[in-house]
Amino acid sequence: IGFIAQMKGKLTKDHYTAATVFVDHYSRARYVHLMKDLTSEETIRAKAAFEQWAILHGVTIQHYHCDNGRFADRAFLEACAQQRQVTTFCGVNSHHQNGIAERHIRDLQDQARKQLLFAKQRWPRAIDLALWPYALRNANECYNMLRTESTGKSGNSLPKWTPRCRLGINLGRSPRHARSVNLVLNPYTGLVSPQFHVKYDEFFETVDSTTDSAAVSNWKGKAGLVAITEQQEDDNSGTTIANSDAESNSSKEDKEEEEEEEDQEIANIATTSTAPEGEFAG
């Protein structure tokens, strides 16, 4: 399941479950549409969103080369016929006949997996695998729009950070704002807001002071990704009690050892005092 970002209100319990990837045969530009289910209606909405995105770039879609499955449903074929679009399919289990799209899907999955696993390793309390829709979309945006220097460096440097900075989780560029605006997830409330004045910490160097705080994982429970229980509080209190018990036990053991040492010293003194002259007490 995938987390659905929202800017205000109570977090929804709905989740993304799939994504459709469109690849332009000429330019190799890609478009990712996140979906709540795999119904024909949702697939047609994905098609309409892709065509609207293509029109913004001066491109008119005339032909779809698809897999079988939902793309072979009557509803999808009728939607293509209404737009006077040609539809062709690859053979059953012959994914190589649609190799361009299959290769781009594989690349997107690999790049999104790298981003998500790296973030999960560096900030395990706040990052959840349910953020895969935004890792996938961000990987697609990087492919379509990212430009770097000949040295492979972006030329940006990370300035010094202060504890007054608010930390958030970057979900990638906002599809409804300027290109310089990204969606940022608040790990405490679960709400997502479009932010412009932000600095990006690609190496998670700013989360060291918050890795011990369990509050950064609150958004997971509010989004219905994990059950909200008092188990964590019980576990924390149990750990504290266990630690206090261990400390008390260790202090008792230390006292007992000190008492044994004092008794031994007393015994040695008594033995020495009762030993005859010229003999050594053992």
- CATH number of domain containing 6: 3.30.420.10
Q: What is the dihedral of CA 109, 111, 113, 115, to 10 degrees?
A: -150
Least confident range of 26-30, 165-169, 236-240, 247-251: 236-240
- Answer whether residue 133 is part of any domain: yes
pLDDT at 278: 39
Within-domain flag for 116: yes
Q: Residue 239 domain-assigned?
A: no
Decide: residue 143, CB within 10 A, 0-12 exposed, 13-18 middle, 19+ buried: middle
- 86 - beta bridge partners? 63
171-218 pLDDT tens trace: 888 887 887 888 888 887 888 888 887 887 777 777 765 444 666 677
Distance between CA atoms of 57 and 80, rounded to whole angstroms? 20
- Write down the residue that tokens 């330019």 correspond to: 27
* Element holding 195 (H helix, E strand): strand 192-195
The pLDDT tens digits for 39-92 are 889 999 999 999 999 998 889 999 999 888 888 889 999 999 999 999 998 877
Q: What is the pLDDT of residue 44?
A: 92
Residue 257 lies in a domain: no
**Secondary structure of residue 26 in the 3-state scheme:** coil
DSSP at 131? G
| 235-254 tens-digit pLDDT | 444 444 344 444 445 555 55
- Residues in contact with 186: Cβ distance below 8 Å, sequence separation at least 6, in sequence order: 168, 192, 193, 219
C-alpha to C-alpha distance for 14 and 224, rounded to whole angstroms: 9
Percent of the chain with pLDDT over 90: 14
Task: Tell me whether residue 94 is in a domain.
Answer: yes
b/e map 25-60, b = 16+ CB within 10 Å: eeeebbbbbbbeeeebebbbbbbebbbeebeeeeee
> Is residue 186, in this structure, part of any structural domain at all?
no
Global pTM reads 0.58
Q: What is the total count of domains within the chain?
A: 1
The side-by-side arrangement of strands in the sheet containing 182-185 is 169-173, 182-185, 192-195
Tell me, yes or no, whether 180 lies in a domain. no
Domain with 140, as residue range(s), is 2-145
Task: Report if residue 93 sits inside a domain.
Answer: yes
